[in-house]
Amino acid sequence: MSKQTVRDIDVAGKKVLVRVDFNVPLKDGEVADDNRINAALPTINYLLEQNAKIILLSHLGKVDHKDPQKTESDKAKNNMEPVAGKLQEKVDAKVHFSPVTRGQELDDAVAALKDGEILVVQNTRYEAGESKNDPELAKYWASLADVYVSDAFGSVHRAHASTVGVADYLDSASGFLVQKEIDALSTALDNPERPFVAILGGAKVSDKIGLIEHLLDIADKVIIGGGMAYTFYKAQGHEVGTSLLEADKVEIAKEIMEKGKDKLVLPVDTVVAKEFNETSDSKTVKASEIPADYMGLDIGPETIKLFRKELEGAKTVVWNGPMGVFEMDKFANGTLEVAKAIVELPNANTIIGGGDSAAAAIKLGFKDDFTHISTGGGASMEFLEGKELPGVAAIKERK
C-alpha cells in the first residue's frame, strides 16, 4: 500500500483526530457487540504508547435531519456515550466524552486533554453536514487536531466530512485496521495465487452486478448462491415459485451467464419451503423443479458437493454473501458447509468480504479460521468491484 500509515508520521504528544468505526449495536443503553471497538484498539493503543492526545470521531446509526421530531428521537437512540464507557473498559488511559459535535464545550474538552488521554466525540451524524461532506464542518473538526488518522474501514466508501473532508486540512495516514484491510483485499485481487475462486451469495443480483462482472474478469471460477440464484434460474427458463426474484434483472443475468460461460457456477438443487419460517414444511428439489407454491431458502446437498468440487485445490478464495437464510438454523446448512469447505483448504488465502457472510462465519463458529474477515461490508464490496474508496483516496501518499 502506497498510502502513509500511522507509523510513517510523527504523532508523539500531538493531537490526533482518528476516524474509527464505532457503529455498534446498542441494547438498553449498553453496547451489545463490541467487535468494532476491539478492531480499533491496535491503532488506539499505538497512539497511547506515543503519548498522543486522541480525539475519536465515529457515526452511530442514522439521524433523520428532515423531521425535527425524528431528529431528536434518532439522536437520543444513537448517543455515543455508552460507547465511550465501553472503550474505557478496554484501554489503560482516561477516556473523556464530549456530548456535542462542535462549539466551545468541545473546544474546551480538546484543550483540556493531556498526553495519553482519549476524547470520544458525540455521533458525527448529529451534524447534517457530515454525510454531505460539508467543507466548513470538515475544516472545524480538522482545527481540533494536528494529524488525521483514517481507521474506519467500514466507512471509507463514503465521502463524508469525517472520512474525506478533514484530510484536506491535515497531514493524514491510515490506521492499522484500514492498512490491514487494504493489504488483505489487494493481495487477493491484484496478485492472487491461483486457482482463484470467488463465492457470491446474498439476496439480490442488483446489489452485486458490478462485483460479479469484475470477478469474472479476474477469478478462475465464480460460484453463485443465495437468493440471487433464483434470478439466474429464471434467466435459464426455470420457474422459481415464490422464491426471491428480481424480474427486471433477468436479462442482466442472461448477459452475465453468457459472459461467464463455464467460469460461472450455479446451484443445481435447492431447499424449498412453503413459508418463510423455521416450522414450514421443506424439501429439496432440482433447480429446474421448484413447485409454484414453494420458495427457495438454501442450496441443496448436490450443490454443496458441486461447490466443494469447484473449490478443490483453490489457493485464493473470496467469499461475499451467504448461501441461504443462515439466520434460521433450518436453512443455514448450505452456508455452514461452504464455510467448512473453504476453511479446510490447505494453505489457501481465504477472505470474507464483510457484511452478512462475515456475520454468518462468526455465528457458525469460524471466526478464527479464515485468513481475513473484513470489517466493512459496503467498503469491501466496492473494493472488490474495483472501485476507488474515497476515504482511502484521501489519505496522503507515502513519501
Q: How much helix, strand and coil, in percent to the nearest 5, is found in the chain?
A: 40, 20, 45
Could you say which of 179, 202, 228 is where a domain stops?
Answer: 179
Q: Are residues 51 and 148 in the same domain?
A: yes
Q: Is 333 contained in some domain?
A: yes
Rounded CA-CA distance 363/328 in Å is 11
Residues 220 and 282 in one domain: yes
Question: Where does the pLDDT of residue 248 fall: very low under 50, low under 70, confident under 90, or very high at 90 and above?
Answer: very high
Q: Do residues 157 and 267 both lie within one domain? A: no
392 belongs to a structural domain:
no
Write out pLDDT tens, residues 168-216.
999 999 999 999 999 999 999 999 999 999 999 998 899 899 999 999 9
Q: Quick check: is 1 in a domain?
A: no
DSSP string, 173-187: EE-HHHHHHHHHHHH
Which domain covers residue 276, as residue numbers? Answer: 192-384
The domain boundary, picked from 179, 202, 225, lies at 179
CATH number for position 53: 3.40.50.1260
269 and 149 part of one domain: no
Number of compact structural domains in the chain = 2
In whole angstroms, give the CA distance from residue 398 to residue 185: 19
Give me 150's grid cell.
Answer: 483514517
Do 228 and 142 have their domain in common? no
What is Dmax (Cα atoms) for the chain?
A: 69
As a whole number of angstroms, the distance between CA 319 and CA 321 comes to: 7
Whether residue 117 is contained in a domain is answered as yes
End position of a domain, from candidates 122, 152, 179: 179
236-246 as b/e, with b when 16 or more CB fall inside 10 Å?
Answer: eeeebbbbbbb
Q: Mean pLDDT across the chain, nearest whole number?
A: 96
Predicted pLDDT of residue 357: 87
DSSP result, 171-229: EEEE-HHHHHHHHHHHHHHHS--SSEEEEE-SS-STTTHHHHHHHHHH-SEEEE-STTH
Examine the domain organization and report whether 94 and 215 are in the same domain.
Answer: no
pLDDT for the residue 355: 80
Q: What is the Cα–Cα distance from 308 to 311, expressed in whole angstroms?
A: 5
- Regarding whether 147 and 15 lie in a shared domain, the answer is yes
Q: Which helix (H) or strand (E) holds 339?
A: helix 333-343
pLDDT confidence band for 125 (50 / 70 / 90):
very high
Would 354 be classed as within a structural domain? yes
Which SS3 state, helix, strand or coil, does residue 116 take?
Answer: coil
Q: Is 284 helix (H, G, I), strand (E, B) or coil?
A: strand
Residue 327's pLDDT is 92
DSSP bridge pairs for 198 = 222, 318
List of residues 6+ apart from 79 with CB closer than 8 A? 60, 122, 123
- Distance between CA atoms of residues 95 and 88, nearest Å: 6
| Whether residues 263 and 373 fall in one domain | yes
In a domain, 301, yes or no: yes
Q: Is residue 398 part of a domain?
A: no
Instruction: Note the residue count of the chain.
Output: 399
Which residues are tagged catalytic? 36, 204, 355, 378
Query: Are residues 12 and 130 located together in one domain of the fold?
Result: yes
Distance CA 80, CA 95 (A): 13
Q: Are residues 170 and 201 in the same domain?
A: no
Does residue 3 sit in helix, strand or coil?
A: strand
- Of the two residues 367 and 91, the one the predictor is more confident about is 91
Residue 225 shares a structural domain with residue 364: yes
Measured CA distances, 34 to 25, 154, 199, 326, 361 (Å): 8, 15, 28, 22, 17
pLDDT tens, residue by residue, 12-36: 999 999 999 999 999 999 999 998 9
Q: Is 29 left (phi over 0), alpha (psi -120 to 50) or beta?
A: left
DSSP state of 330: G
Whether residue 248 sits in one domain with residue 223:
yes
Closest CA to 128 of 70, 175, 77: 70
Has residue 281 been placed in a domain?
yes
Distance of alpha carbon 246 from alpha carbon 234, whole angstroms: 9
Q: What is the pTM of this model?
A: 0.91
In 3D space, the residue among 104, 112, 115, 164 whose CA is nearest the CA of residue 139 turns out to be 164
Residue 263: left (phi > 0), alpha (psi -120 to 50), or beta? alpha
